[in-house]
Amino acid sequence: MTFRAAHRDDLWLHARGRTGAHVVLHGEDPSSQVLAAAAALAAYHSEGRTDTAVDVDVAVIRDIRKISGGPPGRVTYRNHRTIRTAPGIGEWKRI
C-alpha cells in the first residue's frame, strides 16, 4: 500500500516501534488538524490502541524504504518527526 498507492511527496505515518497500520496523507502540507487526526488514526490501528499516548512517526514517502528480504510492511525511514498523540478514530468515518 505504502509504495503502490502513495506518491513521493505524500506523508506516511506509523506508530513508532509497534506493529500497526501505515497511514498515508496525500500532499506534503496538510493542516495541523488533519495531521493530528491521521496520527491518532495510526496510533488507534497499532498495538498501542489501549495506551493513553503513542509516539507516531511522520515522514515523506520518498524517505521510506522497504527492508530487502523483510516481512511485508517492514520499512526503514529517515528525516522524520514524531507526534505524541492519544489513539482514536476522531472525525474519521469508517467506510
Q: What per-residue confidence (pLDDT) applies to 29?
A: 83
Q: Which three cell numbers stand for residue 20?
A: 500497526
Domain ranges of the chain: 11-85
CA dist 53 and 12 (Å) reads: 19
pLDDT digits (tens, 9 = 90+) for 59-77: 999 999 888 888 877 888 8
Q: Record the pTM.
A: 0.86
Phi, psi at 33, each rounded to 5°:
-70, -40
Q: Which of 13, 17, 43, 52 is nearest to 30 (CA)?
A: 13
